[in-house]
Amino acid sequence: MREGQTTVIRREDYAAPAYWIDSVELTFDLDPAKTRVLNKMRLRRNPEVAAQALKLDGEELNLARVLVNGQGTSFKTEGDQLVLENLPTVTDAFDLEIFTTCAPEKNSKLMGLYVSQGTFFTQCEAEGFRRITYFLDRPDVMASYTVTLRADKKKYPVLLSNGNLVEQGDLDGGRHYAKWVDPHKKPCYLFALVAGQLVAREQRIKARNGREHLLQVYVRPGDLDKTEHAMNSLMASIAWDEARFKLPLDLDRFMIVATSDFNMGAMENKGLNVFNTKFVLASQATATDVDYANIESVVGHEYFHNWTGNRVTCRDWFQLSLKEGLTVFRDQEFSMDLAGEASARAVKRIEDVRVLRTAQFPEDAGPMAHPVRPDSYIEINNFYTVTVYEKGSEVVRMQQTLTSREGFAKGMALYFQRHDGQAVTCDDFAQAIADANPSSELARLLPQFKRWYSQAGTPQVAARGHYDAAAQRYTLTLTQSCPPTPGQAEKLPFVIPVALGLLYADGLEIPGSARTVVLSDAQTEVVFEGVASEPVPSLLRGFSAPVVLRYDYSDAELLTLLAHDSDPFNRWEAGQRLALKRALATIASGATEQPLDAAYLDAMRAVLRHPQLDAAFKELVLTLPSETYIAEQLEVVDPQRVHAVREAMRGQLALELREDWAWAYEQHHDTGAYRPDAVSSGRRALAGLALAMLCLAARETGDVVWPGKTYQRFKDAGNMTDRFNALAALVQSGHALARDALQRFHALFKNEALVLDKWFALQAGASDRGGDVLPAVKQLMKHPDFTLKNPNRARSLIFSYCSANPGAFHRADAAGYVYWSERVLELDALNPQVAARLARALDRWKKLAEPYRHAAREAIARVAAKPDLSNDVREVVSRALA
């Protein structure tokens, strides 16, 4: 397969476009084999740029005709570009008409116009519009769109595009048409069309300002009963953005359409969001609590883009975090606000931080490390990363911390006042937040704060305390540093808000000690007076900055924080640190047995049995740090050793607390009629963990009662969360009943694609016992329900093994890596974006101990040796080998 030449795109090379496109009239004759696209544009030279040829982007298009002001014209093609040199030299507007065809049914990349289960969809972000027609495919060119769709009426009864439906009717030969006008100018990456046999759940709403809107969720006919939660989430999103940021819906009609073939989660096309089915469809029989929560947050995320991304968009793709970091921040805040009370908010915060630390910290320490606003790329699709999204969100969160919640809302208002309708930069955003809060720490430190956008790497903050008993004075010294990343050897100090407080050893918070210290120098001292005895510092409360906090906590200090800290995040963090200390000590010692001591086990028992703590919070505390997180703390990683030690810890936690787990299960398993709210989903999560632990303990004790109960639960469960948790408990403990349960599960859900994805993922993610997972994965590749062409299915099997199951993937015989390299190459021929994501599974190979390190390098080199790799995979593997 071909790709354009490997060119490095640099942020510093940004130049305004030589032409503006004011309006576009598109006419589609939709046909899977050959779709005809007529594109009539009204253009104008940009008077601020020297006169030059017009170069339009196009990819895999068949060009039939080019007319300028209705006349034939000379043109040439240069690589993927269409070049027009003899255009009118005056700056008056002119018409350009381009007629092309493309083949949607052959489009396996799922970028541009493609067919999924007989329905047409488009995906244009980041550079997919050029696969539909020739265009200035860049986000700073904003145009008005009028779109006419024509297609066979029987096969494609529903014809959708952005904006308002202004006309529709029948045509000859069983065809029909629909004409859509988008009232808002937009960059072409927000264009969308959908055509097929779909049905919609509809809802009419009246906004606070009295405006009426039609909301629609379109799905395949059998799926209508799974759209209620998505619609509720959409209504909640609209209400939230009005209440929190005074941002109303600016459209008469807002549509969501679900497709089962999608590279990402969802896409915020103006007025016509396209979603992966995974983030729309839910019923209690088929979706878990986690699915419900994800749907809420992704529906929110795409809706919030309507302002942060669509009304104000990015000047260029280096500014991607302008919309993504900000919109992730908004969806996180939305979920937190909906969760309700402080403890439920903390649970959401812990979950978000866990994602950041297990996925983004490794990225920031590996070969693909890049700043939140990157300086260069080869393939922009490779920069839809946890750094741009999740770390970007933390950078926005810190701006809120440094200006207050109200101050930040004022900053948002100023941002829209200044930039509505524009394509802008991350600088413009931070400037608006700071300008609206002139006396804030953000305004005082803005140039330095913006290093969060330009410097890659996870900063480290080392803390030391000194207690002077005679003077009753406690001095805290905080030192920051940041490791080098590719292309950035030296880092300058960051602005780091550190929320903290002091506790006395008995757990009482020292009055007046809580504050947010803003670090801006390499070293900062904080002095507390009137401290009656040596305190325990609670540092980085709420995870107030995306940094690694180093402090040499004693067990006693951690136990105090775990039991008493007023900050729930740090209570959880203390539990994680206690577990991590034990994991690291055991890994270093070479022994594997009994990593956990009585002090730790008693502390966990106390949390589990605590009369006041929420079930959801208990579940988080009692879940050990992941293998990936543990591995990140090591200089050299032996993945099998990490796996063995963590499994030993789990086994011990299961066995020693088995009566407590039984108690916890009995207390929490009955949650009444299914509702996906925070309280009942927390109870299900804890009951699920308890079952998993009881099945694990049964391995040691030979107990048959709990596995039997678990199997019964699997069969009787009234909702997918309980059913799946029971199934997972049997599979993860390697119990003999797992086989039969897996078979039943498949038989029950053979027509539910999203449930089959879970079935594949569970088996590929199973806890490895003597290398048994890889053969199972290979066998599953031959299963009639498996296909590489559907990204969700490919991810459910291959990614669950390669990227999410380190204990099974890293094999001394290198067979996991060989399997990985074969799949990367196989996928690359079909869908380079998905292949490049899989390619990242070996990002951290340089940290591996032998023989893994050598074998991993060889596998990457084998991929890199393929001559016709996509730019996507080439960029990832060449950075890995650099």
Interacting residue ranges for Zn ion, rule: CB under 5 A = 324, 327
The site map against ligand PHE for 370-389 (x = CB under 6 A) is --------------x-----
Residue 359 region, left (φ>0) first, then alpha (ψ -120 to 50), else beta?
Answer: alpha
In the stretch 504-533, what mask flags binding to ligand PHE with x, by CB under 6 A? ------------------------------
Nearer to ligand PHE, 583 or 839 (CB): 839
CA–centroid distance for 181 within its chain: 32
The residue among 226 and 301 lying less far from ligand PHE, judged by its C-beta, is 301
Residues in contact with ligand PHE, counted by CB under 6 A, come to a total of: 12
DSSP state of 636: S
Decide: is 180 part of the binding site for ligand PHE (CB under 6 A).
no
Q: Identify which of residues 268 and 768 has a Cβ nearer to Zn ion in the complex.
A: 268
Least distance in angstroms from the C-beta of 46 to ligand PHE: 27
809 contacts 766 by C-beta, under 8 angstroms: no
Q: Does 264 bind ligand PHE (CB under 6 A)?
A: yes
Maximum C-alpha span of the chain: 95
For tokens 């999740």, the residue is 390
125 binds ligand PHE (CB under 6 A): yes
| Count, residues in the chain | 882
Of 264 and 549, which has the nearer Cβ to ligand PHE?
264
The Cα 626–Cα 623 span in angstroms is 8
Taking CB atoms, the residue at the shortest distance from ligand PHE is: 264
Could you tell me which residues come within 8 angstroms of residue 439 by beta carbon, excluding any fewer than 6 positions away?
none
Which CB, 324 or 647, lies closer to Zn ion? 324
Q: Provide, rounded to whole angstroms, the least separation between the CB of residue 505 and ligand PHE.
A: 46
What are the DSSP calls for 228-269, one per residue? HHHHHHHHHHHHHHHHHH------SEEEEEEES--SSSEE--
Closest separation between CB of residue 382 and ligand PHE, Å?
A: 11
Residue 350 near residue 287 (C-beta atoms within 8 A): no
Q: How far is the CB of 880 from ligand PHE (least distance, A)?
A: 22
- Residue selected from 268, 316, 557, 573 as contacting ligand PHE according to rule CB under 6 A: 268
Q: Would residue 849 be called left, alpha or beta, if left means φ above 0 and alpha means ψ between -120 and 50 degrees?
A: beta
Q: Which of 596, 625, 620 shows the shortest CA–CA distance to 608?
A: 620
Tell me the β-bridge partners of 81. Answer: 57, 78
Q: Helices marked H in 340-470 — which ranges?
A: 342-355, 361-365, 386, 392-401, 405-419, 426-435, 441-444, 446-449, 451-454
Q: Which residue type does 493 have?
A: P
Residue 384 touches which of Zn ion, ligand PHE, none (CB < 5 to 8 A by kind)?
A: ligand PHE
Which helix H or strand E contains 569, and what residues bound it? helix 568-589
Marked catalytic residue, from 127, 268, 302, 632: 302
Stretch touching ligand PHE by CB under 6 A, among 29-37, 118-126, 140-148, 617-625: 118-126
CA–CA separation, 162 and 270 (whole Å): 6
Instruction: Give the contact letters, 802-841, x = binds to ligand PHE (CB under 6 A), - = no.
Output: ----------------------------------------
Quote the least distance from Cβ 757 to ligand PHE, whole Å. Answer: 19
Q: Which of 66, 113, 238, 267 binds ligand PHE (CB under 6 A)?
A: 267
Is residue 123 at the binding interface for ligand PHE, with CB under 6 A as the rule? yes
Q: Which of residues 726-765 bind ligand PHE (CB under 6 A)?
A: none
| Beta carbons of 51 and 45 less than 8 angstroms apart | yes
Backbone angles phi, psi at 476, to 5 degrees: -110, 125
- 245 or 384: CB nearest ligand PHE: 384
d(CA 109, CA 833): 7
| Minimum CB distance to ligand PHE, residue 265 (Å) | 6
525 is catalytic: no
Nearer to ligand PHE, 393 or 767 (CB): 393
- Please give the Cα distance from 18 to 37 (Å, whole number): 24
Using the rule CB under 6 A, is 390 a contact of ligand PHE?
no
Q: Is 181 exposed, middle or buried (0-12, 13-18, 19+ CB in 10 A)?
A: middle
User: In terms of DSSP H, where are the helices of 356-391?
Assistant: 361-365, 386
- What is the pattern of x (binds ligand PHE, CB under 6 A) and - over residues 301-320? xx--x---------------
Comparison of 129 and 706: residue with beta carbon closer to ligand PHE: 129
Q: In whole angstroms, give the CA distance from residue 704 to residue 755.
A: 28
**C-alpha–C-alpha distance, residues 544 and 499, integer Å:** 6
Q: Work out how close the CB of 276 gets to ligand PHE at its nearest, in angstroms, rounded to a whole number.
A: 9
When the beta carbons of 57 and 324 are compared against ligand PHE, the nearer one is 324
480 forms bridges with which residues in the sheet? Answer: 461
Report the residue number, 112 or 371, with the smaller CB distance to ligand PHE: 112
* Residues 403/442, Cβ–Cβ less than 8 Å: yes
Cross-strand pairs, 120: 115, 195
What is the spatial distance between Cα 810 and Cα 849, in angstroms, rounded to a whole number? Answer: 11
Among Zn ion, ligand PHE, none, the one that 125 touches (CB under a kind-dependent 5 to 8 A) is: ligand PHE
Task: Say how far apart CA 355 and CA 620 lie, in whole Å.
Answer: 13
Q: What are phi and psi of 76, to 5 degrees?
A: -140, 165
Instruction: Give dist(CA 40, CA 63) in Å, integer.
Output: 14
Nearer to Zn ion, 269 or 455 (CB): 269
What is the nearest approach in angstroms of Zn ion to the Cβ of residue 324?
5
Q: Contact 660/603 with Cβ under 8 angstroms? A: no
Q: Cβ closer to ligand PHE: 313 or 710? A: 313
Enumerate the β-bridge partners of residue 35. 102
Helices 705-716, 678-701: axis angle to 10 degrees equals 140
Kindly state the smallest distance separating residue 274's Cβ from ligand PHE, in Å.
Answer: 8
Nearest distance, CB of residue 126 and ligand PHE, angstroms: 6
Residue 472's Cβ-side half-sphere holds a number of Cα atoms within 13 Å equal to 6
Residue 264, contacted partner among ligand PHE, Zn ion, none, CB below 5-8 A by kind? ligand PHE
Picked from Zn ion, ligand PHE, none, the partner binding residue 267 (CB below 5 to 8 A depending on kind) is ligand PHE
Our finding on whether 261 is near ligand PHE (CB under 6 A) is no
Binding of ligand PHE by 324 (CB under 6 A): yes
In the complex, the smallest distance separating the C-beta of residue 258 from ligand PHE, rounded to whole angstroms, is 14
Shortest approach of Zn ion to residue 409 CB, angstroms?
21
Which residues are known catalytic residues?
302
Binding interface with ligand PHE (CB under 6 A): 123, 125-126, 264, 266-268, 301-302, 305, 324, 384
